[in-house]
Amino acid sequence: MSRFKELLFLLISDLIFISAAYSVYYYFRIETGLIKYTNPVSYLIPMLVINIYWLIVFSFFGLYQHWFVRSRFDEFSSVFKTVLVGCLFLFFAIFIDDYMKDAAIISRFLILIYASIMIFFISLGRILIRGFQINLLERGLGLSNTIIVGNGEKAHELYDMLIKYPRLGYKFKGFIRLDSEVESENDVGVIKELKDVIRREKINTVLIASEQKAENILFEVLNECENENVTVKIMPKLYEIVSGMAKTQQIYGIPLIEVKSKLMSFPLRFTKRLTDIFLSLLFLILFSPFFILIILIIKVSSRGPVFYIQKCSGKNGKIFSALKFRTIYGQFNLDVGHEWTQKNYKIFTPFGRFLKKTKLDVVPEFMNVIKNEMSIVGPRAEPPEYFELYKKEIPYYSRRLVVKPGVTGWAQVKHNIEASVEDVKTKLQYDFYYIENLSLSLDFKIMLNTLFVVISMKGQ
C-alpha cells in the first residue's frame, strides 16, 4: 500500500471514529439525562472542532508516520498514550472554562468518560485498518518493490525472510551486485547502475545487506537514492557508520536500520510550518521593544551596520541570505573563517560577545523563518564555501540539506564548540539524530534546551 493511500485510510478512519466517539459521548451526556447541565450543548460545531483538534494531536504524536510491521498491541499502546495526553489538555481547557463560568465540578470529570470512549473507538478503527492492510499484503496487494544490495549469505538470508513473510510488505525484484561479488541468478544490476535500476523497476525500498564493511558502499547507495523517493534500510554491522541517523526496526528477529528518504508526512510538515510562522511572529511582536534596544546599543557602541548578512546553503543547497545582529567590529569579515574556530575574541565588540553567549545574535533569523528559508529548529545554516569544505572531508555531510536550516537545533544546544573537523563530525551526529527522529515534540524539547542556553549564557 502506498504511503498516500495508507495516510488517506488512516485519516478517514480517524475522522469516522472520532465522530462516533463524540456522538456516543453526546448521547450519554445530553440525551440520557443522567447528568445535569446548565445550558444546552450543540452537536455539530463542537464535533467539527474536536475532529480538527484530534487530527492535530495525532499528527503531533506521530500517529500518521509510516507504519512498519507494527503489531496491533503497539498500535493500541500508541493510541492509548496519545489520547490520554490529548484529554489532559482538554481537561485543563475545561477546568479554565469552568473556573471562568463558575460551573459545577462534576463537569470536569466527564473528560474521563470521554477519554475511555475515545480510546475504545480510535483503537477499534486503527486495528480494523491494520488488519485490512495485513490482509492485502498477504494476498500480494500493495507490496513495496524492493531490491537488496549485495548477494552474499546475509543478502540471501534477508531474501528468504521477504519471501516467507509477505505481510512485511516487500516485493522482491532482485539483487544489486557489488563489483567484488559473483553474478547470481536474481541479479538486476551492479551498484553503479543502482539509480537506473530504481527507475526501471519502480523501486520503493532498498535493503543493504552487504558482507563488506565498506563505508563507500553505504555512502554510494545513499547518494544514489537521495533524490529517488525510496526508503533505505541497512542490516547490522554497517550500523556504526550511521550511528545516530537511523532507527532500528525488526523483521521477525532480523534488525534493520532505516535511513529515511521522506522525513515528514504532509500533516507534520504542514503543522511544523504553521508552528514556525506563529511562534516567529509572536516572538518578534512580543519582544520588539527589547530588539529595538539591541539595535540602539549596537549602533551606539561601535561603528558599522546593525545587521550582518551571510550567504548560507539552505534546503537542497538553495542559497539564501541569513540575517543576524552584528557582533564584530565593522572592519572584520567573518567570511574568512569561523569566529569560534579562530578563537580571536578581539574581533568581537563587548556587546557582541554578550549577544553570542546568549545567542541573541540570531534573533533576526526569525525573518528568514517567516520567508520559509529557515525553520525555528534544524541544522545550523552554513556558508556555501564551508559546506563544500566539509563535504570533501565528510562524504555524507550533504545529508544535512534534506531539511531547512534552523535558528536553533539539537547540535547547537548539545555541542557548541566547532574547533576541528572532529567537532564538525560530532555535531553532525546530532544533526543526523534530529533529521531521522524529526517530530514536533523533539522541536519543542530543543526550544526548551535553547531557552536554558540563553538564560545560562552558555552560547559561543
Q: What is the pLDDT along the chain (460 residues), one digit of tens a residue?
A: 566 777 788 889 899 999 999 999 888 877 766 666 555 667 888 889 999 999 888 887 778 766 555 566 777 888 888 898 888 888 777 667 666 666 555 555 678 888 899 999 998 988 888 788 778 777 877 788 999 988 888 888 888 888 887 777 888 999 988 766 667 778 888 888 888 899 998 998 888 887 655 556 777 787 777 777 788 888 755 444 444 444 555 555 566 767 655 566 666 788 889 999 999 999 999 888 999 999 999 988 888 889 989 899 999 889 999 999 988 876 444 444 444 444 455 678 888 888 888 888 899 999 999 999 999 999 988 888 888 888 777 767 777 888 899 999 988 888 766 656 677 777 888 888 888 778 887 898 899 888 888 887 665 5
Which H or E run includes 207?
A: strand 205-208
- What is the domain count for the chain? 3
Q: Look up residue 416 and give its three cell numbers.
A: 557548541
* Closest C-alpha to 375, from 345, 350, 339, 402: 402
Q: How far apart are CA 39 and CA 29, in angstroms?
A: 12
Q: How far apart are CA 415 and CA 223, in angstroms?
A: 27
Residue 74, amino acid: D
- Claim to verify: residue 362 and residue 315 sit in the same structural domain: yes
- Claim to verify: residue 129 and residue 13 sit in the same structural domain: yes
Q: In this structure, what CATH number is given to the domain that contains residue 175?
A: 3.40.50.720
Q: Is 427 exposed, middle or buried (0-12, 13-18, 19+ CB in 10 A)?
A: buried
Give the domain extent around 299: 266-456
- Claim to verify: residue 51 and residue 193 sit in the same structural domain: no
CB 146 within 8 A of CB 158: no
Q: How far apart are CA 264 and CA 65, in angstroms?
A: 8
Beta strands in 314-409 (DSSP E): 319-325, 375-377, 406-408
Q: Look up residue 34 and give its three cell numbers.
A: 443522567
* Closest C-alpha to 115, from 81, 83, 78, 92: 83
- Claim to verify: residue 282 and residue 255 sit in the same structural domain: no
Alpha helices in 146-287 (DSSP H): 153-164, 194-200, 215-225, 266-286
- Claim to verify: residue 418 and residue 270 sit in the same structural domain: yes
- Claim to verify: residue 271 and residue 251 sit in the same structural domain: no
DSSP string, 102-148: T--GGGGGHHHHHHHHHHHHHHHHHHHHHHHHHHHHHTT-SPEEEEE
Which H or E run includes 232?
A: strand 231-234
Q: How far apart are CA 151 and CA 217, in angstroms?
A: 14
- Claim to verify: residue 131 and residue 157 sit in the same structural domain: no
- Claim to verify: residue 306 and residue 421 sit in the same structural domain: yes
Eight-class DSSP state of 398: G
Last residue of a domain, one of 259, 275, 305: 259
Q: Look up residue 296 and give its three cell numbers.
A: 540602539
- Claim to verify: residue 178 and residue 41 sit in the same structural domain: no
Last residue of a domain, one of 99, 119, 138: 138
- Claim to verify: residue 177 and residue 115 sit in the same structural domain: no
* Closest C-alpha to 94, from 44, 25, 27: 25
- Claim to verify: residue 191 and residue 284 sit in the same structural domain: no
Last residue of a domain, one of 122, 138, 154: 138
- Claim to verify: residue 427 and residue 280 sit in the same structural domain: yes
Our CA angle for 271, 276, 277, nearest 5°, is 100
Q: How far apart are CA 388 and CA 397, in angstroms?
A: 9
* Closest C-alpha to 71, from 18, 16, 127: 127
